[in-house]
Amino acid sequence: MQSALLILILLLHSQAAEPAQPPDDSLLPDGQQQFVAALHDRHMFDLAAQHCQRQQATAVSRNQQALWQLLMADGCELQLPLMPARQRPELVTKAATDITEFLNDRPPGPVTDLLLQIRRTELLATAARTECLPELLTLNPSHPPQTPLQLSARRKQFALDASQQGAALADAGLQQLDLLRADLEPSFLRSCRLRLRFVLASCLQTRCRLATVAEIPGLLTQLDEQAEQLVRSSGSADRLQARLLQADALLDRRDFAAFQLQLRRLQPDVLLPADKTASAVLQWRALLLQNQPSDALQASVKFTETTPVLPLELQLLRAHALLRLHESLLLLRNSSPERQQSLLSTATEFQQRSEKLLLQTSGVLHEATLRLKQRFELSLQVGPAAATTLEQINEHITATDYQSARSKLRHLADQSEQQSVKAYALMQAGELSLRLSDWATASTELQQASEGYRELQSSEQAASADLLRLYCLGQLWNTASATEKTARQNNYRDAVEQHLKDYAEQKTEPAARLYRIRYLRSEAPLTAAADVLQLLQSPAATPPVLQTDRTTLLCLLADLLLEHTAFGTPPTDSAAAADVLAQRQRLTTAFQEQIGQTPSAESPANTSLALLQSAAILWQTPVESTPIDWSQLARSTDAALALPLPEVPPEAASESAELLPRGRTAAICTRLLAACRLLEPDTLIDPLQQSLLNSPPELRRLALQLLSPQLTEATLPGHSQLGRRLSSIHQTLHDPADSLEQRLQWLQLETTF
């Protein structure tokens, strides 16, 4: 975006013969500007943008088109604080690029050109300032003065880029105004200069909040100079904004005495509702930074005497004050009934207000509300002091300094006497060790965290820590040397079985059961299939399985039945063999029942399911009273094979996508079997056979094993011609690399015919 935005810095317009005047609103049709503003007030930003684009396309002059572009930029600036963090950069980039392209493709007159360039710089300054709001509105009183706010790396980089580009464009705009001052009306010239200087001050303030500790004092000095210049050169309305900027900078310094003096000086000019809100925000933030939540709550009560409905920003600060008051009560040593009642009432009001805010807000205020809720829950869990320490440690995590954060968490766990703090710190340290791929350390830390939570009788958190430990043990198994492989495998299996025993009623149970399914898949596919069925039939007490997950589980169930059919070894004992047969029949019946409860949709999972379902005949137990309709089976298999195979990128690969080749191989085997049964011509069989021949060795081996049960007298009584055809197919598919034992088995089968 930077290179695109800087192109216009070099474009200077030729001077006009007469002084230019700012465009009149009458250039737009009557009522259009008010109509767009009404849409913006109702947050119908997309509708407003579409209306502006249609009107711009039919505008009679370039100046009119430029005014429509300005209205679209206004909507972008209003929408920006309401957007999620991941969408804000895209919104600003598009708006700034649209202005750049408009000025390049359809240059208007010098006045509207200047207005559009200034609007672009203001958008960038607003975007940079907006990124700091969630942290500013929820700032902990213990946060040191003149230290940077801790934003995520992506948000911080975006804010710095936007502020630097905005400042560069503002400087270029001031230089352009100097070149055009003879052609511009003086009052319009002063207005443009003032707006650009406000942009410079706003961008500088953002840099002050995100720079290094060594850079901040010098930047604050520059900000003071720019703000003072704005106060001296502004009219009454703009002077108020400049003084609010000065007061905000004093808060960043924690110079509360000078801040109070500045706030009293600007009160006579605070007349509009927006100005009253801005002044109140600064006042309440100052009280919270001084750790005076009761005074902040009292100020909110006083504010509602004149404004019954608090603006959302002030509602957020009231919730922040309730949070700090609750933490102050938690720190009191006495356990009097009055304290307990105050704790309960404060916590209840905070939870009610925060839940209401989550429903009413979006964008930066929603993010700030989530930060307050997370702090509240953390304070309840480990206490305010430890919560503050953990927040400071989280700053290292935000900066991706995992090693330092892990060391501090271990130190906190060693030094703390609270079991809740120890368990929480060890849990966080284990997660960081997991990110660092330090599997052994992570396993130890998570085991200690799980044991700590069990001592606190917090089964849900103990289960979460233990589930992460299972993942680490699995990684240790995967990365083990040949000499350690067996021991690591046994440790992993024992841990999974113990988790299923200890946390059978917890939300982690389905994930642990999936872990067990994976290692039972090859050695005990029917047992694994029973686990899959249990997940599909999970009781209402557990979270409902998502539709996509249901389909994936059904694919896995079908594949496990295929695996048992192809590679399972039947028991030698007749009673055990009968039990296995009955179990397979129950699972097959349950599979068909679950299929009926799963609507179809386009996805890799559903394609896999359709292929595997068409191949169900391969694992179903023959029933004499239910003859197979081979013609219908051929039609359904053709339909499944005709489904397009979805393209799944490697990063989005799922278990159902991995089952696609196996499902397709099974469906081709089914179609071959149906073709042989129906004595269809070789012109139909040969392409299917060639498709299997072109498959990887493991899929050819699967096909051979799936067709093997069909080559017996029991399944083909009196069909010697059919037997010879199937024998020819499997002989063609036979891989020379197969084991001698398997080849002898096929030769023995061929002699039957």
Position with higher pLDDT, 601 vs 636: 636
Name which of 227-236, 420-429, 634-643, 705-714 the model is least confident about.
705-714
**Percent of the chain at pLDDT exceeding 90:** 45
CA angle 315, 241, 126 (to 5 degrees): 70
Per-residue model confidence (pLDDT) at position 606: 62
Position 2 in a domain? no
Residues 398-407 have a mean pLDDT of: 87
Using the 3D structure, point to which of 207, 231, 251 is the last residue of a domain: 207
The pLDDT tens digits for 45-89 are: 999 999 999 999 988 888 889 999 999 999 999 999 999 999 999
Q: Cα 4 to the chain's mean position, in Å?
A: 29
Per-residue model confidence (pLDDT) at position 683: 81
Between CA 670 and CA 616 the distance in angstroms is: 8
Whether residues 227 and 197 share a domain: the answer is no
Backbone angles phi, psi at 348, to 5 degrees: -65, -45
Name which of 96-105, 127-136, 181-190, 533-542 the model is least confident about.
533-542
Place 635 in a pLDDT band, splitting at 50, 70 and 90. confident
Name which of 141-155, 619-633, 716-730, 733-747 the model is least confident about.
733-747
Whether residues 88 and 233 share a domain: the answer is no
Whether residues 264 and 274 share a domain: the answer is no
Position with higher pLDDT, 116 vs 620: 116
Whether residues 308 and 251 share a domain: the answer is no
Q: Cβ(633)–Cβ(687) under 8 Å? A: no
The pLDDT tens digits for 718-735 are: 444 555 566 666 566 555
Per-residue model confidence (pLDDT) at position 540: 42
Whether residues 188 and 290 share a domain: the answer is no
Indicate if the pLDDT at residue 603 is higher than 60. no
Buried b (16+ CB within 10 A) or exposed e, 336-363: eeeeeebeeebbebbeebbeebeeebeb
C-alpha pair distances (Å), 640 with each of 378, 603, 635, 671, 695: 52, 13, 9, 10, 18
Between CA 260 and CA 191 the distance in angstroms is: 30
Position 27 in a domain? no
Indicate if the pLDDT at residue 131 is higher than 90. yes
Round the CA-based radius of gyration of the chain to a whole number and report it.
35
Between CA 209 and CA 136 the distance in angstroms is: 10
Whether residues 729 and 695 share a domain: the answer is yes
Place 370 in a pLDDT band, splitting at 50, 70 and 90. very high
Place 747 in a pLDDT band, splitting at 50, 70 and 90. very low
Indicate if the pLDDT at residue 374 is higher than 60. yes
Q: Cβ(162)–Cβ(151) under 8 Å? A: no
Residues 124-144 have a mean pLDDT of: 93
Give the burial class of 538: count Cβ atoms within 10 A of its Cβ; 0-12 exposed, 13-18 middle, 19 or more buried.
middle
Name which of 208-217, 284-293, 329-338, 476-485 the model is least confident about.
329-338
With a CB cutoff of 8 Å and minimum separation 6, the contacts of 693 are 700, 732, 733
20 strand-pairing partners = 184
Per-residue model confidence (pLDDT) at position 673: 80
458 strand-pairing partners = none
Between CA 545 and CA 551 the distance in angstroms is: 10
Give the burial class of 523: count Cβ atoms within 10 A of its Cβ; 0-12 exposed, 13-18 middle, 19 or more buried.
exposed
Residues 303-330 have a mean pLDDT of: 92
DSSP letter string, 332-386: -----HHHHHHHHHHHHHHHHHHHHHHHH--HHHHHHHHHHHHHHHHHHHH-HHH
Which of these, 346, 351, 399, 398, lies nearest to 372 by C-alpha position? 351
Between CA 751 and CA 70 the distance in angstroms is: 86
Position 684 in a domain? yes
Residue that has been written with the tokens 């998570």 in this structure = 446
Whether residues 683 and 739 share a domain: the answer is yes
Q: Cα 212 to the chain's mean position, in Å?
A: 29
Which of these, 208, 197, 130, lies nearest to 167 by C-alpha position? 197
Per-residue model confidence (pLDDT) at position 652: 43
Between CA 251 and CA 255 the distance in angstroms is: 6
Place 288 in a pLDDT band, splitting at 50, 70 and 90. very high
Position 624 in a domain? no
Whether residues 326 and 369 share a domain: the answer is yes
Whether residues 339 and 463 share a domain: the answer is no
Per-residue model confidence (pLDDT) at position 586: 73
Per-residue model confidence (pLDDT) at position 735: 52
Write the DSSP symbol of residue 86.
Answer: T
**Would you state the structure tokens that stand for residue 508, as one six-digit string?**
């982690």
DSSP letter string, 430-444: HHHHHHTT-HHHHHH
Mean pLDDT of the chain: 81
How many Cβ atoms are within 10 Å of 581's Cβ, its own excluded? 13
Indicate if the pLDDT at residue 100 is higher than 80. yes
Place 615 in a pLDDT band, splitting at 50, 70 and 90. low
How many Cβ atoms are within 10 Å of 88's Cβ, its own excluded? 23
Between CA 517 and CA 556 the distance in angstroms is: 9
Residue that has been written with the tokens 């352009």 in this structure = 176
Q: Cβ(622)–Cβ(677) under 8 Å? A: no
DSSP letter string, 460-506: HHHHHHHHHHHHHHHHHHHT--TTTHHHHHHHHHHHHHHHHHHTTTS
C-alpha pair distances (Å), 69 with each of 52, 96, 174: 7, 11, 22
Q: CB pairs under 8 A, 24+ apart, for 459-462?
A: 459/503, 459/505, 459/506, 460/506, 460/507, 461/423, 461/427, 462/503
Whether residues 348 and 465 share a domain: the answer is no
Position 705 in a domain? yes
Per-residue model confidence (pLDDT) at position 470: 93
Between CA 438 and CA 15 the distance in angstroms is: 67
Q: Cβ(295)–Cβ(259) under 8 Å? A: no
For the domain that residue 340 is a member of, what is the CATH number? Answer: 1.25.40
Per-residue model confidence (pLDDT) at position 210: 93
Between CA 735 and CA 738 the distance in angstroms is: 5
Place 237 in a pLDDT band, splitting at 50, 70 and 90. confident
Q: Domain of residue 696: give its range.
A: 556-567+583-595+603-619+629-644+655-753
Backbone angles phi, psi at 184, to 5 degrees: -115, 145
Between CA 748 and CA 753 the distance in angstroms is: 10
**Percent of the chain at pLDDT exceeding 70:** 78
The pLDDT tens digits for 248-262 are: 999 999 999 999 999
Using the 3D structure, point to which of 160, 182, 207 is the last residue of a domain: 207
Using the 3D structure, point to which of 242, 269, 296 is the last residue of a domain: 269
Name which of 230-244, 357-371, 398-412 the model is least confident about.
230-244
Indicate if the pLDDT at residue 14 is higher than 80. no
Place 40 in a pLDDT band, splitting at 50, 70 and 90. very high
Instruction: Spell out the alpha helix ranges (H) of 109-185.
Output: 110-137, 153-180
The pLDDT tens digits for 106-126 are: 888 888 889 999 999 999 999
Indicate if the pLDDT at residue 585 is higher than 90. no
Which of these, 358, 353, 290, lies nearest to 317 by C-alpha position? 353
Place 1 in a pLDDT band, splitting at 50, 70 and 90. very low
The pLDDT tens digits for 198-226 are: 999 999 999 999 999 999 999 999 999 99
Whether residues 173 and 250 share a domain: the answer is no
Between CA 750 and CA 661 the distance in angstroms is: 28
Per-residue model confidence (pLDDT) at position 718: 40
Position 19 in a domain? no
Q: Cβ(9)–Cβ(168) under 8 Å? A: yes
The count of domains in the chain is: 5
Q: CB pairs under 8 A, 24+ apart, for 334-341?
A: none
Whether residues 49 and 185 share a domain: the answer is yes
Indicate if the pLDDT at residue 546 is higher than 70. no
Name which of 240-244, 662-666, 701-705 the model is least confident about.
701-705
For the domain that residue 92 is a member of, what is the CATH number? Answer: 1.10.3450
